[in-house]
Amino acid sequence: MSEWHDIAAESDVVEGTPTIARIGGREIGVLRDPRTNGLVAIRNRCPHSGAKLCLGTLEQRIEGEAGGHYELVDRTVVVCPWHGWEFDATSGQCPEDASMRVAVYPVKVEAGRVLVQA
Amino acid sequence: MERAGSMIDCDVHVQITDVEQILQFVEPAERDWFRNASFTLGLPDYPWPNPSTWFRTDLAVDETGVPGGNPQTVAKEVLDDQGAEIGILTADDALSVGLMANPYRAATVARAHNDWFREIWFPADDRFRGSIIVPSQDPVAAVAEIERCAADPRFVQVLLSGGSERPYGDPRYLPILEAAAAHGLAVAVHSGMEGMGAAHQASGAGTPTFYIEWHTIGSACSIMAHLVSLIAHGTFKRVPDLKVLLIEGGVAWLPGMMWRLDTNWRGLRDDTPWVDRLPSEIMQESIRFATQPLEHTNGNDELLMQMLAAVGAPDILCYASDYPHWDGDEPGYFERRLPESWRQGVMHDNAVKFYGNRLNLPVAK
């Protein structure tokens, strides 16, 4: 049964720096989404080759319809620091590979504290 | 050796043994320019001569000593003797027309070569189909030539050379690809002519010294470059009906190349976000590979077939003999190298599906 875990003070979770916690033997990182200013809790292990995923970046997804067309879309992805693979910050799914998904966790703020359900 | 079942030969190189065969379709005012050229019709020439011969030495030759120049002889040697139901004629020296420095002369050569097919080769045997060659250095003229020829149902594809100024995903070539697709014509890219005329050098490391270097590296690398370029530019998304056949670049490298491309795409997709599916999926849907030369494997054919199976080989390979060249694949021997379950597809059915109605197969009697 998953429980809510107190990870950090909300004011300590800042853009560009992951807050890492160990819960039940797993490393989970909480990151600040620079696009929405919201929080993302995601397992700190890339399912591709095991890199510490939370050392990567949160970025707005780029898509395009045809050659030469680039568009920022309403989607944040976690970009792995090693090979640049992207994972949807909401679902954990790699859009480019159906077999690659990283665990993401519910996260909320109560009384100035960041809580993660895991 | 004749194959027991029917087959389609996707690469039959007919030879220009006398330039007057072509010049009869050229305006008189232009003919002397082509006659005075140092190499056939002013086409760019290879700096790497084959050290022995470009051709099989068991074939009938005419007074010039070259095989493949007589329509009746080619019909006998390719269609009757080898048992091809259809032989798709490709160009030989004229494959380099798109690399001539002079786009106007190139347009003339392309037009005359296409007329030569239409007036001399097609009437010689109703099992011949042909390739439209185009002055690709001038896409407007190339499209006009496609429009001029497309109404003839015996043309099944537009033929481009492996050697090129830029890989064919580049937008300058898009009108050519669109025009082909609009007429139900495939686009075939045949390796060769790398480093010739306006083309960039063969290999990615400068000019090779020997024919063996060009034949090993140059002809494969250009095909790899076009394959990756067409996918990276999202060409098949822009031109959904486009069908591409890559000829004579080898295939043993294909699994590694696609795995490499798939891997890079996952990490580098921001640069080409319109590529919204695995490159290998796009390849398997829209690109086919002529089999010759199927690499000899020093006894590792089983391993090769396992690798090829991983990228969909039973559905994407189409037999080609490369007649009358020295390194051709004899159909009986070639077919026996394939797993039995692949044979009908590779020798026949895949090409039938690929070319579709343009192949205009004879009605069974």
Q: How far is A95 from chain B (nearest CA, A)?
A: 9
Contacts of residue A1, Cβ cutoff 8 Å, sequence gap at least 6: none
Give the domain B7-18+44-103+119-358 fold: TIM Barrel (3.20.20)
pLDDT tier at B23, thresholds 50, 70, 90:
very high
Contact flag B266-A84 (C-beta cutoff 8 Å):
yes
Confirm or reject contact between B210 and chain A (CB < 8 A).
Answer: no
For residue A41, give every residue at least 6 positions away whose Cβ sits within 8 Å of its Cβ, in sequence order, or none.
A7, A28, A29, A30, A31, A104, A105, A106, A107, A116, A118
Backbone dihedral angles phi then psi of residue B129, each to the nearest 5 degrees: -125, 165
Task: Write the pLDDT tens digit of every residue in B93-115.
Answer: 999 999 999 999 999 999 999 99
In the structure, what pLDDT confidence band is assigned to residue B340 with cuts at 50, 70 and 90?
very high
Q: What is the pLDDT of residue B2?
A: 55
ipTM of the prediction:
0.84
Averaged pLDDT, B81-89? 94
Contacts of B276 in chain A (CB under 8 A): 63
Instruction: Give just the sign of the alpha carbon dihedral B250, B251, B252, B256.
Output: positive
Tell me what pLDDT residue B51 has: 87
- Give the number of residues written for chain A: 118
pLDDT surpassing 80 at residue B197: yes
Contact call for B267 and A66, based on CB within 8 A? no
Q: How would residue B359 be classed by pLDDT, with cut points 50, 70 and 90? A: very high
Q: How far apart are CA B258 and CA B237, in angstroms?
A: 18
**Confidence band for B3, pLDDT divided at 50, 70 and 90:** low
Mean pLDDT of B7-22: 96
Q: Distance from B162 to chain A by nearest Cα, in Å?
A: 22
Q: Which of B20-29, B160-169, B191-200 has the lowest mean pLDDT?
A: B191-200
Residue of A nearest to B231 (CA): A67
In the predicted model, what is the mean pLDDT of chain B? 94
pLDDT cut 90: percent of chain A above it: 96
- Across the interface, of A62, A66, A85, the residue whose CB is closest to B267 is A85
How many beta-carbon pairs under 8 angstroms link A with B?
47
Burial of residue B58, with CB atoms counted within 10 A of its CB: 0-12 exposed, 13-18 middle, 19 or more buried: exposed
Mean pLDDT value across residues B30-56:
92
What is the per-residue pLDDT across A69-107, written as a single tens digit (0 to 9) for each?
Answer: 999 999 999 999 999 999 999 999 999 999 999 999 999
d(CA B239, nearest CA chain A) in Å: 10
The pLDDT of residue B204:
84
Contact flag A67-B278 (C-beta cutoff 8 Å): no
Superfamily of domain A4-117: Rieske [2Fe-2S] iron-sulphur domain (2.102.10.10)
Mean pLDDT of A32-43: 97
Strand segments, DSSP code E, in chain A are 4-9, 19-23, 26-32, 39-43, 57-63, 71-79, 86-88, 104-105, 107-110, 113-117
Q: What's the sign of the alpha-carbon dihedral B7, B13, B16, B22?
A: positive
Strands (E) in chain B, as ranges, are 7-13, 84-90, 128-133, 155-161, 186-190, 244-247, 287-290, 317-318
Alpha helices in B39-173 (DSSP H): 71-74, 103-116, 122-124, 139-149
The SS3 assignment for B32 reads: helix
Whether residues A67 and B268 touch (CB distance < 8 A) is answered with: no
- Does B266 sit within 8 Å of A83, measured CB to CB? yes
Task: Tell me how far CA of residue B265 lies from CA of A86, B85, B101, B218, B232, in angstroms.
Answer: 11, 40, 36, 25, 9
Whether the model clears a pTM of 0.90, i.e. scores above it, the answer is yes
Q: How do residues B313-327 score in pLDDT, each as one tens digit?
A: 999 999 999 999 998
pLDDT of amino acid B362: 73
pLDDT at B365 over 50: no
- Decide if B139 contacts B158 (C-beta within 8 A): no
Listed by start position, the domains of chain B span 7-18+44-103+119-358
By three-state DSSP, how is residue B317 classified? strand
* pLDDT (0 to 100) of residue A2: 87
The answer to whether the Cβ–Cβ distance between A67 and B235 falls below 8 Å is yes
Q: Is B151 exposed, middle or buried (0-12, 13-18, 19+ CB in 10 A)?
A: exposed
Residue of A66, A69, A83 with shortest CB distance to B267? A83
Residue-wise pLDDT for B214-248, tens only, equals: 999 988 999 999 999 999 999 999 999 999 999 99
- pLDDT score at B280: 98
What is the structure's pLDDT at B46? 83
Cα–Cα distance for residue pair B331/B282, rounded to 1 Å: 29
Question: CA nearest B174 in A: which residue?
Answer: A67
**Looking at the complex, does the CB of residue B266 fall below 8 Å from at least one CB of chain A?**
yes
pLDDT over 60 (residue A25): yes
- The pLDDT of residue A1: 66
A66: nearest CA in chain B? B274
Q: What percent of chain B has pLDDT over 90?
A: 86
* Residue A83: count of CB within 10 angstroms of its CB: 16
- C-alpha atoms less than 13 angstroms from C-alpha of B123 in its C-beta half-sphere: 5
Contact yes or no for B48/B214 (Cβ under 8 A): yes
Instruction: Decide if A63 and B266 are in contact by the 8 Å CB cutoff.
Output: no
B3 or A54: which leads in pLDDT: A54
Task: Lay out the sheet containing A4-9: strands in order across.
Answer: A4-9, A113-117, A107-110
What is the DSSP pairing of strand A39-43 with strand A26-32? antiparallel
Neighbouring residues of B264: CB distance < 8 A, sequence distance ≥ 6: none
Q: Chain A residue with minimal CA distance to B169?
A: A67
- Give the one of A67, A83, A96 whose C-beta lies nearest to B233's C-beta: A67
Cβ pair B171:A67 closer than 8 A? yes
